[in-house]
Amino acid sequence: MKIELSERVAVVTGASRGIGRAVAVALAAAGASVACVASKEANAQATVDAIRAAGGRAEPFGCDVGRPADITALADAVAKAFGRVDILVNNAGVTRDGLLMRMSEEDWDTVLDTNLKGAFLVVKAFSRHLLRSKCGRVINIASVVGISGNGGQANYAASKGGLIAFTKSVSKEIGSRGITANAVAPGFITTDMTDALTAEQRDAMVKGITLGRTGTPDDVAGVVTWLASDLAAYVTGQVIAVDGGLRL
């Protein structure tokens, strides 16, 4: 069965690069119209250009998901541009790594505000649009460390663990309206976010991956596109690891 998303409108946060960009491009390739959201509108333009060059439909939007006023304005602007919203992908995320003893309150707040509160505000702002869809989907990009925890990432792991619990709660609240909510938990995916690691750290990480390689943004985008489609209509409240069998 072919994945077919034409007539559907998707919103992807953090669509300027990495996983979010791959997700936006994949959803558009399956036929969806895509609102590509980055912290500044100009940052999302290259993704929009790539989608349009391939014959797809996309528009760029600027929204700092740490700013509630930006999110309200985003929901209005997307509804005006596309008239509906069916698929919401909460992908925008940041890290501010450090050992607990030295972690500043500011680094804690930035990560929780962006990764967790941002997702809450985005789902809330778009919920009335999703409720009108016959095939609504909420897909939150969590992380395997939201399940396992990770030394040096207490803020990030807490935000992703919270995002998983949030996703399950959302699935229970909106399931009766035929809307699904799932989390995707990537392992080690090669993007700007993981570029900061040294070659030694990377090699040590790869040793623990069953498939013997790091993941690509497209590895994640494939699973997100499946979750967005009718093929996953009976899947909700789940956390799907996309980690190449990390530490199996």
**What are the percentages of helix, strand and coil residues in the chain, rounded to 5?**
50, 15, 30
By CB under 6 A, name the one of 10, 18, 86, 174 that touches ligand NDP. 18
By CB under 6 A, name the one of 192, 198, 200, 207 that touches ligand NDP. 192
CB of 190 to ligand NDP, least distance (A): 7
Using rule CB under 6 A, residue 60 touches ligand NDP: no
- 126-165 footprint of ligand NDP as x/- string (CB under 6 A): ---------------x-x----------------------
Contact 196, 204 (CB under 8 A): no
Query: Which of residues 194 and 238 has its CB atom nearest to ligand NDP in the complex?
Result: 194
Strands 87-90 and 9-13: parallel
The alpha carbon torsion through 65, 69, 74, 80 (nearest 10 deg) reads 170
Is 234 noted as a catalytic residue in this protein?
A: no
Using rule CB under 6 A, residue 19 touches ligand NDP: yes
CB of 181 to ligand NDP, least distance (A): 16
Using rule CB under 6 A, residue 194 touches ligand NDP: yes
Query: Which of residues 14 and 133 has its CB atom nearest to ligand NDP in the complex?
Result: 14
Which one of the listed residues 156, 166, 225, 240 is annotated catalytic?
156
Positions in the binding site for ligand NDP (CB under 6 A): 13-20, 38-40, 43, 63-66, 91-94, 114, 141, 143, 186, 188-189, 191-194
Q: What residues are annotated to the active site?
A: 156
